Amino acid sequence: MKKVQWLLVGGETLLGKEISDLVKERKLPVVLRTAAGTSKDPVLTAEEDEIAVVEPLSAELLEDAEVVLLGGTAENNREALLLARGLERKPAFVDLEGGFEDLPESVLRAPLLEEVAPRAGKEALHVPAHPAAAALARVLLVLHQASPLKAAVATVLEPASEYGKAGIDELHKQSVNLFNFQPMPKELFDA
């Protein structure tokens, strides 16, 4: 069986590490290459107790890939999309961060709930639904089949750590400012 070429943008991030581990654990039939989303220079990182080099993002890496997983910062993911525009054969893009869900070419996906994959053009940018949204949809579907629902309201709380260091730093600043009766910074939360 031929292995599909995947490129992971943001391979040096926590999300990148999780994706790499998942591909190895599940023994997926893919060749996963990683591209640093933070630098034009190679980045050193640890992989299985050894030093590994993560290549900088380039058009050559994108050209070799059949699927590109966007797991870097919004800026780096945007750079990958811009680099791909000039390619003859464009790879399929999957936005793991959800930062491009508002683009016209974005297709919201919930593979566990889809009976048939939605029609998507070659230029489509696949955006997986938030796991909480997919779980709620599944539960609501079962409830609706048992007794039709008219409305449902849910509050989903996310950990600040999901936003990385910036989220943790802002939560810290908000806590300190709250105790000092100062206005709270709202760059990420309540923006």
Work out the pLDDT band at 7, boundaries 50, 70, 90.
Answer: very high
Most confident of 38-42, 50-54, 91-95: 91-95
How confident is the model at residue 83, as a pLDDT?
A: 87
Residues 34, 25: Cα–Cα separation, whole Å: 17
Tokens 């566990």: give the residue: 112
Structural domain spans, the chain: 4-100
In whole angstroms, how far apart are CA 136 and each of 12, 128, 129, 132, 142? 31, 14, 11, 6, 10
pLDDT in tens, 129-176: 888 888 999 999 999 999 999 999 999 888 887 777 778 899 999 999
pTM of the model: 0.73
How confident is the model at residue 114, as a pLDDT?
A: 83
C-beta of residue 64 within 8 angstroms of C-beta of residue 34: no
CATH of domain 4-100: 3.40.50.720
How confident is the model at residue 54, as a pLDDT?
A: 72
What residues have CB less than 8 Å from 7, skipping those under 6 apart? 32, 33, 34, 35, 61, 62, 64, 65, 67, 68, 69, 91
How confident is the model at residue 51, as a pLDDT?
A: 67
Work out the pLDDT band at 4, boundaries 50, 70, 90.
Answer: confident
pLDDT in tens, 55-88: 888 888 888 889 999 988 888 889 888 888 888 8
| 1 pLDDT higher than 90 | no
